[in-house]
């Protein structure tokens, strides 16, 4: 039984599926209490049940990160149930593949609100709970935050916004003892993001060949980075954007994701 995070409470937004659920599960297996939120109550119930099966104290609530009142209520409940909050993983995100000229105002707004406004909301609501030694925030970003990609203008804008929030709040909140970092997963096997961005199975091989390490990453590899950042081995690391992408951002070929879109 791993107890690295025993006595800590981890709050994971978007933590009911995909990479975020994998992160929540990793913290659960490492002794943490885990609280997850997402929009769908059924997914919250299933995720909480799964986390409890791992032996963790777990709870959750249905909340849309775009709605500050819902986010605030979720933090209040987490603090009430577990008595404290130590680590925030902000993972809720929205994505679809579309050329900029085909994205409506509402479509652009949806992604910006989930990603950028949602990250602000969870960081803001977490702040009063995190002003203590050892607290940290991990924001989920993506290579789009630094690499321009066809069909991803909205996501590029959103992820670079998240990365600047990471830097700005690391600066503001460092004196309070709160570390803030972004992790930036590249192509991760079996995720919603991969399904959305590389919908053609024939293109998966080409995608893999664009990765210097010549394979997709695993959810566990992303979770391992988050655990490192939250651990006492990373106590002097803040304001960074750390890729976990097999070197993907060194290679601009992901721009070819846009090949699936009509000219
Ligand atoms: N191309 C262009 N526009 C799209 C689109 C696409 N493939 N998919 C959605 N949109 C637009 C919709 O048309 C709508 O705009 P409109 O009202 O002008 O028609 C707008 O986006 C909002 O869509 P809607 O489905 O009503 O919003 P939502 O809040 O329910 O969903 C999304 C938000 C669109 C980001 C949705 O993809 C989502 O919920 N994603 C969460 C999960 C996710 O993306 N995971 C991947 C992480 S990498």
Determine how many CB atoms are found less than 10 A away from the CB of residue 244. Answer: 19
Q: For residue range 33-81, what is the model confidence (pLDDT) as tens digits? A: 999 999 999 999 999 999 999 999 999 999 999 999 999 999 999 999 9
Residue 1 has pLDDT above 90, yes or no: no
What span, in angstroms and rounded, lies between the C-alpha atoms of 188 and 194? Answer: 7
Q: What is the pLDDT at residue 259?
A: 62
Answer yes or no: is the C-beta of 193 below 6 A from any ligand 1 atom: yes
Looking at ligand 1, which residue's alpha carbon is closest to its atom 16? 106
**Residue 170 counted as domain residue:** yes
**Residue 3 counted as domain residue:** no
**Residue 82 counted as domain residue:** yes
What span, in angstroms and rounded, lies between the C-alpha atoms of 85 and 216? Answer: 33
Looking at ligand 1, which residue's alpha carbon is closest to its atom 35? 94
Q: What is the pLDDT at residue 204?
A: 87
Average pLDDT over residues 5-18: 98
Index of the ligand 1 atom closest to the CA of residue 197: 48
Range of the domain at 191: 9-262
Answer yes or no: is the C-beta of 67 below 6 A from any ligand 1 atom: no
Testing ligand 1's pocket by substitution, the residue of 20, 39, 94 carrying the most ligand atoms inside 8 A of its CB is 94
CA of 252 to the centre of ligand 1 (A): 26
Looking at ligand 1, which residue's alpha carbon is closest to its atom 44? 94
**Residue 1 counted as domain residue:** no
Greatest pairwise CA separation for the chain in angstroms: 54
Count the domains in the chain.
1
- DSSP E strands in 80-229: the ranges are 87-90, 136-140, 179-185
251 vs 47, 211, 247, CA distance in Å?
A: 35, 7, 7
- Cβ burial, residue 111 (10 Å; 0-12/13-18/19+): buried
**Residue 156 counted as domain residue:** yes
Looking at ligand 1, which residue's alpha carbon is closest to its atom 11? 107
Residue 252 has pLDDT above 90, yes or no: no
**Residue 137 counted as domain residue:** yes
Answer yes or no: is the C-beta of 4 below 6 A from any ligand 1 atom: no
Residue keyed to tokens 């590899």: 221
**Residue 40 counted as domain residue:** yes
**Residue 2 counted as domain residue:** no
What span, in angstroms and rounded, lies between the C-alpha atoms of 148 and 141? Answer: 14
CATH number at residue 24: 3.40.50.720
CA of 51 to the centre of ligand 1 (A): 28
């Amino acid at each position: 039984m791993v107890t690295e995070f025993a006595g800590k409470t981890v709050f994971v937004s978007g933590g009911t599926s995909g990479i975020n659920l994998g992160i929540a599960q990793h913290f659960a297996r490492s002794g943490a209490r885990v609280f997850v939120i997402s929009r769908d109550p059924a997914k919250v119930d299933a995720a909480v049940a799964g986390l409890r099966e791992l032996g963790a104290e777990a709870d959750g609530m249905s909340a849309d990160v775009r709605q500050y009142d819902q986010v605030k209520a979720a933090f209040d409940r987490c603090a009430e149930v577990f008595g404290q909050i130590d680590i925030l993983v902000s993972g809720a995100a929205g994505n679809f593949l579309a050329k900029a000229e085909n994205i409506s105002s509402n479509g652009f707004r949806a992604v910006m609100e989930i990603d950028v406004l949602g990250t602000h909301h969870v960081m803001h609501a977490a702040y009063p709970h995190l002003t203590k030694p050892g607290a940290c925030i991990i924001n989920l970003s993506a290579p789009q935050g630094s690499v321009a990609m066809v069909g991803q203008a909205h996501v590029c804008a959103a992820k670079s916004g998240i990365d600047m929030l990471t830097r700005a709040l690391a600066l503001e909140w460092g004196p309070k003892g709160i570390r803030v970092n972004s992790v930036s997963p590249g192509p991760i096997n079996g995720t919603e993001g991969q399904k959305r961005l590389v919908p053609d199975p024939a293109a998966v091989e080409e995608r893999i060949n664009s990765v210097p390490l010549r394979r997709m990453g695993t959810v566990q590899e992303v979770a391992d980075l988050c655990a490192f950042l939250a651990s006492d081995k990373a106590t002097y690391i803040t304001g960074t954007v750390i890729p976990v992408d097999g070197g993907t951002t060194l290679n601009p070929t992901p721009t070819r994701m846009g090949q699936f879109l009509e000219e």
